[in-house]
Amino acid sequence: MSDKPFLPIICGPTAVGKTDLALKLAEYFGMEIISADSRQVYRLMDIGTAKPTQLEQQRVRHHLLDVVWPDEDFNAARFTELANVAVYEILERKKLPLLVGGTGLYIRALTEGLLRAPGADPAVRRRLKQWAAEVGHEALHGRLREVDPDAAERLHPKDLVRVIRALEVYEQTGRPLSDYQREHQFGDRPYRTLKIGLSADRDVLYRRIDLRAERMFEAGLLEEVKSLLVAGYSETLKSLQTIGYRQALQVLRGELSRSDATSDLQRTTRRYAKQQLTWLRRDKTIKWVDSSADFDTIREFIENFYVS
């Protein structure tokens, strides 16, 4: 029998109800939560990232919250490193780990490993972007079809970011990106996983998103951003150009009213939720349930996972 650790996962789009469900599951099973959220890693950024409250963190121990300062870099590789440490520390305490979040890249990196392809080459990327601007997307896609037909078959000519990435890898290594992806597909998986995806009717999800946006401003999002600026953090930081913080900065600069900023935050978050779902639905191992499903149903999924 495999000795790989069990790792149940709760994932889904923003505002779908992951936090509430995770807290209940963690209390029932004696779990500690590992956050798979690309923004909740930042210290001083609580309201705009919908970070679990201090009371919620007192109920259940959380990991990978408040890991770096807003001006520090953080990526999937760093997340994987820290999350692996957290899993084994939790197990050493005779507790169970529960991975919770909506950042699909982080979840995939931890459960499937990172693709062993070369990193970005800014010079190659700039040149390919310029080429695309001069000759068009179709011509760039035609070049990909010559060097990596498998990737070209999967990618739409207008998906410029991914087409450029595939060509970038080929130009750096002389090997098609699809070769790296095939190797990765058959790589070892470090955990036995149960992925439960929370979904909701679109109207229900959008109402939750709209209410969350309103509550962020009511809870002091503008004051949170002011305090970051006073502390010396530049508004041009990547962390402060994310959803919520971008709108708050526009209010502080006098570019938007609070009402207009709230509306923009609602629209932007809806688009983000759609992007999250698109990413997560590529993973055919996720067991999707309605977020309003009763707790006992989801609890039973996890119990069966452990006894299997």
If one compares 46 and 151, the residue with the highest pLDDT of the two is 46
Q: Is the per-residue pLDDT at 230 higher than 80?
A: yes
Residue spans per domain, the chain: 6-113+189-307, 122-185
CATH code for residues 122-185: 1.10.20.140
Q: Is the per-residue pLDDT at 186 higher than 60?
A: no
Q: What is the pLDDT of residues 193-222, one digit of tens each?
A: 999 999 999 999 999 999 999 999 999 999
* Band of residue 47 on the pLDDT scale cut at 50, 70, 90: very high
Compute the average pLDDT of residues 15-29. Answer: 97
Q: Is the per-residue pLDDT at 86 higher than 70?
A: yes
Write out the two tokens for 265: 């935050």
CATH code for residues 6-113+189-307: 3.40.50.300
**Chain mean pLDDT for the chain:** 94
If one compares 89 and 129, the residue with the highest pLDDT of the two is 89
For residue 116, the model assigns a pLDDT of 76
For residue 1, the model assigns a pLDDT of 44
For residue 132, the model assigns a pLDDT of 86
Q: Which range has the worst mean pLDDT, 16-25, 154-163, 257-266?
A: 154-163
For residue 184, the model assigns a pLDDT of 60
Model pTM score = 0.85
* Band of residue 243 on the pLDDT scale cut at 50, 70, 90: very high
For residue 114, the model assigns a pLDDT of 78
* Band of residue 151 on the pLDDT scale cut at 50, 70, 90: confident
Query: For residue 44, how far is the Cα from the chain centroid?
Result: 19
Compute the average pLDDT of residues 92-106. Answer: 97
The reply to whether 122-185 shares the fold of 6-113+189-307 is: no
3-state secondary structure the chain: CCCCCEEEEEECCCCCCHHHHHHHHHHHHCEEEEECCCCCCECCCCCCCCCCCHHHHHHCCEECCCCECCCCCCCHHHHHHHHHHHHHHHHHCCCEEEEEECCHHHHHHHHHCCCCCCCCCHHHHHHHHHHHHHHCHHHHHHHHHHHCHHHHHHCCCCCHHHHHHHHHHHHHHCCCHHHHHHHHHCCCCCCEEEEEEEECCHHHHHHHHHHHHHHHHHHCHHHHHHHHHHCCCCCCCHHHHCCCHHHHHHHHCCCCCHHHHHHHHHHHHHHHHHHHHHHHCCCCCCEEEECCCCHHHHHHHHHHHHHC
If one compares 18 and 188, the residue with the highest pLDDT of the two is 18
Angle at 229 between CA 122 and CA 227, to 5 degrees: 135
Residues 6+ apart with CB under 8 A from 257: 251
Compute the average pLDDT of residues 73-86. Answer: 96
Q: What is the pLDDT of residues 104-142, one digit of tens each?
A: 999 999 999 877 778 788 898 899 889 989 999 899 999
Q: What is the pLDDT of residues 259-304, one digit of tens each?
A: 999 999 999 999 999 999 999 999 999 999 999 888 999 999 999 9
For residue 169, the model assigns a pLDDT of 87
Give residue for tokens 């450029």: 164
Q: Is the per-residue pLDDT at 180 higher than 90?
A: no
